[in-house]
Amino acid sequence: MRLFSTPLAVLATLAGCATAFNVNCNSNYASYYGQNSARNQKTLGSYCADATEDVIVLAFMNGFPNIILNFANACETTFEGSSLLHCPNIAADIKFCQSKGKAVVLSMGGAAGSYGFSSDSQASQFADTMWNMFFKGTAAQRPFDDAVLDGIDLDIEGGSASGYTAFISQLRTHYASDPSRQYYIAAAPQCPFPDSYLGSTLNSAWIDMVYVQFYNNYCGLNAYPTWFNFADWDNWAKTQSLNKNVKIYIGAPGGPSAASSGYTDGSTLSTIFNAVRSKYTSLGGIMTWDVSQARSSGLAGSIRAMLDAGGSCSNNGGGTTLSTSTTASSSTTASSSNPASTSNTVSTPAYSTASSPSTTTVVSTSSSSSAQPSSSSTPASCPVSGATCSGSQQGCNGQSFALCNQGKWYTSSCTPGTYCYMSGGVATCDWSNGRPTNTCAISGTSSFSKRADLTRSPLITAANLRPKPASAIANIPTRVEFVAGDIVDNKYTTVVKIQANKSAFTGNWLISFKLPAGQTADSTSRGSLGVNGNTITISSDRNAESLQNMAAYFKITGTFSGQYALPDTASAVFIST
């Protein structure tokens, strides 16, 4: 297959040279590529042909340390005899993007996936694997052939929170072995501070860029100026981050359908961005999810314009230095010589124009947490809208969160299906995962502890709430996971997650599994429910489904007697035709 056509090759040659990405600027634009959110995703190289984005984040490596890659319609070929994706077209496009001065990094994690480390040792060993497969090392199978990435991004929204500091430390050791180029570590926490999964890692590892997701939560762009909390992240950058020059990006949905909440049009985003840029020196620019959405909606062009209007670059920053690199760890405070601003030029090869398959991907943005702190004592009263409060208090009242604004409580509802829980002094909307759903707490008046509520109820224990992912019996490689949802009295909600490991499944599918003893199922939020004894079957509604899917999330509700338990994933059978 030809990697480029003659006309495009000529255009690329005429384009000449490009200035390299400079991590120290406050006018950078990062956008995620690979999940086809707008269902019209083009080749990677086509997005790099102009000067809109500065950083492309490939999404995702959604399985590790057992590697699973998923780039939707951008890559569906594998190495012979393996399920590992082999993406020569993306490899060619990575080189093209880099020749245009753009940085290309690989995002690890995502909202749907099977990932996490069991120990620091495992995490360090996986850093070696990453270096060999995606950077300057050598491996028998390299998904992007001889293309070398510019870094990694951690979008950790599930699994264990351990090991990431050790992973970064070891990866930076490898970075230091190649002084010929600049490598980066980025992270993409959700906006509530501190982040439930990455909070400790952000404090103990050397991070270059932080793409804060200011959407799908109370502190999103749609809550500006009252609850929008860029100030918290700026304060972290200056007082807690090992890298005092770390750059914080405003993460925004690329289009109205890119996220459940938080989308703002170009004019509104420009107002917010300019206000932040005038006040906070940690600002690095804007991030969008994802490039297909931002290009389709026209927001990408607006973002480029607002970034270029008054942007600046400092003389020092958080990137890995070109000459030396110091490894940061949790036990020592790292110091690093700051890299000089780079202005080197590079020649421009042509990018791949291989046509993309028509396959599309639907990715759920819901995530569940099983280790988040919560309030374990109840204040005298719940926060009520209009009632008196003090300072910057935050609070929870069931499915509503509350923030103190000029001495009065202002309350708002969480996203449907989630409930308000306190994490430290921060109110956060989250899945219940078996926790009480009538939380009543106010920061400054409650005592906080780790999830003791998991064991308070005689019907709930930590063991039977632990997610149990497993490969399902299926006609395509599929992973199924059950997660505890709402549990009130003898009524339960169980979240069902179906994730394809390699290729997409059609909109015509069914899954069956056995309920634990004492449970009944009454309804499903997706498709139709069939019951045969203790075996239930959920069949998709073909008219409501996408033609191709990489994941399906839904919930079943019913009643239970005795102790609540999750279904056994070993009984799951998934069929797609």
Which neighbouring-strand residues pair with 374?
449
Extract the tokens encoding 422: 């306190």
Nearest to 127 by CA among 95, 151, 101: 151
Nearest to 357 by CA among 503, 255, 501: 503
Residue type, 250: I
Q: Which of 76, 80, 157, 545 is catalytic?
A: 157
Q: Provide the phi-psi class of 324: left if phi over 0, else alpha when psi is between -120 and 50, else beta.
A: beta
Extract the tokens encoding 558: 């019913």
Helix 299-308 × helix 266-279 angle, to 10°? 30
Judge whether 80 counts as a catalytic residue.
Answer: no
HEC-encoded secondary structure of 362-395: CCCCCCCCCCCCEECCCCCCCCCCCCECCCCCEE
Nearest to 107 by CA among 341, 290, 298: 290
Q: What are phi and psi of 284, to 5 degrees?
A: -110, -20
Nearest to 38 by CA among 366, 359, 294, 301: 294
What is the set of active-site residues? 157
